[in-house]
């Protein structure tokens, strides 16, 4: 059973409502939300009828599209998913929609030769591989970095829409250091991926500085349509991450001149796969190379350096050199303690 664009938009909007457990949803609430989505994305001002939404809910509950959505009604008026983890986005794609996906991939492949689409090559290859794997049950011919247990990726599209449409969010978040979650109003500005983990750059309503929130630490959020959206001025988000490795950055941080010495064995690796786009080779001889990168001194930089183990030495700055030395000595202490236990 093929579905048209407007129906998919309605199903997706209903799904977003029922996933949102911050509030209880009556049929009238859902109708209002779907009408807003139809106006926002398609310019439709006539809204949507009660009969249409009731029919949509029945379709979502059924097996006609493969959703089998566990939609329940409590107190004879509030709609929700019986399973809090359920979403139609997790359902398998039916044959008709799979054919549409093949057509999309075919068009993208034709456009891939144009310069404007150069950065999409990896995405197109991954999409074609996944479509072929699902439709033809073929082998997986391309393997990308993937973490099957990665949390938070379901937030990517709703957050993107919030950024695109300049919508404030009421967001529940718990960092690794926090003992309990916090609920705050945020203004989202940018999505960022680093090593198969996603982040959103946002600003709290009560704090004038930018924050980087990990999507896997977001518990739940909902758009605040009536909350005025606050733009963040003075920052070019196209270049926001240009001066660092990773994503950890505060408003006080500034790039430093980092000088690293690599041994001969690792020199070709560092030359062919630069640590950062600012990398310059200062010295290259039979003993190895010395490079310079201009980056913020953050946790991810330290992880990158420590990943080379004994094959790298920090020459500058001295405070980074001291931190790396302290961490290496701390790691070595663990093994010394193990050796003492074994000798007893």
Q: What is the mean pLDDT of the chain?
A: 86
- Distance (Å) of CA 271 to CA 2, 98, 276: 51, 42, 11
In a domain, 233, yes or no: no
Domain stop point among 90, 105, 121: 90
Q: Are residues 65 and 81 in the same domain?
A: yes
pTM assigned to the model: 0.65
Domain that holds residue 105: 95-135
Q: Are residues 334 and 282 in the same domain?
A: yes
Q: Are residues 158 and 218 in the same domain?
A: yes
In a domain, 79, yes or no: yes
182-193, pLDDT tens digit by residue? 999 999 999 998
Q: Are residues 85 and 102 in the same domain?
A: no
- Looking at the chain, the whole-number percentage of residues with pLDDT higher than 90 is 56
pLDDT of residue 176: 87
Domain stop point among 74, 90, 106: 90
Q: Are residues 22 and 78 in the same domain?
A: yes
Query: What are 264's two structure tokens?
Result: 């001969």
pLDDT of residue 250: 87
* 64 — pLDDT class (breaks 50, 70, 90): confident
Residue 1 has pLDDT above 60, yes or no: no
In a domain, 142, yes or no: no
pLDDT of residue 305: 97
Q: Which of 35-44, 72-81, 125-134, 323-332 has the lowest mean pLDDT?
A: 125-134
Q: Are residues 80 and 30 in the same domain?
A: yes
Mapped onto helix, strand or coil, the DSSP state of residue 293 is strand
In a domain, 109, yes or no: yes
* 113 — pLDDT class (breaks 50, 70, 90): low
Domain stop point among 200, 224, 248: 224
In a domain, 82, yes or no: yes
pLDDT of residue 15: 94
In 214-253, which positions are buried (b, 16+ CB within 10 angstroms) versus exposed (e)? bbbbbebbbbbeeeeeeeeeeeeeeebbebbbbbbbeeee
pLDDT of residue 89: 81
* 39 — pLDDT class (breaks 50, 70, 90): confident
Q: Are residues 99 and 86 in the same domain?
A: no
In a domain, 68, yes or no: yes
Q: Are residues 23 and 81 in the same domain?
A: yes
Q: Are residues 182 and 218 in the same domain?
A: yes
CATH code, 218: 2.30.30
pLDDT of residue 110: 65
- Across 239-243, average pLDDT: 93
- Across 247-261, average pLDDT: 93
pLDDT of residue 151: 80
Query: What are 77's two structure tokens?
Result: 């008026």
pLDDT of residue 49: 94
Q: Are residues 215 and 269 in the same domain?
A: no
In a domain, 243, yes or no: no
- Across 275-302, average pLDDT: 96
CATH code, 84: 1.10.10
More confident residue, 235 or 98: 235
HSE-CB of 116 using CA atoms within 13 angstroms: 3
Residue 13 has pLDDT above 50, yes or no: yes
Q: Are residues 99 and 85 in the same domain?
A: no
Q: Are residues 103 and 52 in the same domain?
A: no
How many structural domains compose the chain? 4
More confident residue, 175 or 137: 175
Other beta carbons less than 10 A from residue 56's beta carbon: 18
pLDDT of residue 234: 81
More confident residue, 237 or 151: 237
In a domain, 29, yes or no: yes
pLDDT of residue 195: 85
């Amino acid at each position: 059973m093929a579905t048209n664009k407007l129906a998919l938009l309605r199903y997706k909007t209903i799904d977003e409502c029922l996933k949102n457990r911050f509030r209880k949803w009556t049929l009238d609430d859902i109708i209002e939300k779907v009408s807003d989505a139809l106006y926002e994305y398609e310019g439709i001002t006539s809204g949507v009828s009660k009969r249409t939404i009731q029919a949509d809910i029945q379709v979502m509950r059924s097996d006609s599209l493969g959703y089998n959505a566990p939609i329940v009604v409590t107190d004879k008026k509030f709609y929700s998913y019986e399973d809090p983890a359920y979403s139609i986005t997790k359902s398998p794609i039916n044959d008709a929609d799979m054919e549409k996906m093949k057509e999309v991939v075919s068009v993208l492949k034709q456009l891939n030769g144009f310069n404007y689409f150069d950065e999409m090559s990896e995405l197109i290859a991954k999409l074609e591989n996944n479509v072929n794997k699902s439709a033809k049950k073929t082998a997986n011919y391309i393997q990308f970095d993937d973490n099957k247990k990665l949390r938070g990726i379901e937030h990517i599209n709703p957050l993107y829409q919030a950024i695109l449409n300049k919508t404030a969010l009421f967001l529940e978040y718990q960092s690794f250091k926090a003992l309990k979650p916090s609920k705050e109003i945020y203004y989202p500005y940018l999505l960022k991926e680093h090593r198969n983990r996603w982040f959103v750059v946002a600003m709290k309503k009560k704090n004038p500085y930018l924050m980087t929130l990990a999507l896997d630490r977001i518990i739940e959020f909902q758009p605040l349509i009536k909350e005025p959206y606050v733009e963040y001025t003075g920052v070019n988000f196209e270049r926001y991450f240009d001066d660092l490795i990773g994503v950890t950055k505060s408003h006080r941080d500034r790039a430093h001149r980092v000088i690293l010495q690599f041994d001969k064995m690792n020199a070709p690796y560092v030359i062919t796969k630069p640590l950062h786009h600012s990398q310059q080779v200062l010295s290259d001889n039979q003993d190895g190379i010395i490079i310079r990168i201009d980056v913020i001194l953050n946790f991810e930089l330290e992880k990158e350096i420590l990943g080379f183990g004994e094959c790298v030495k920090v020459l500058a700055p001295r405070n980074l050199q001291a931190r790396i030395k302290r961490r290496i000595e701390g790691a070595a202490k663990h093994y010394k303690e193990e050796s003492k236990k074994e000798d007893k």
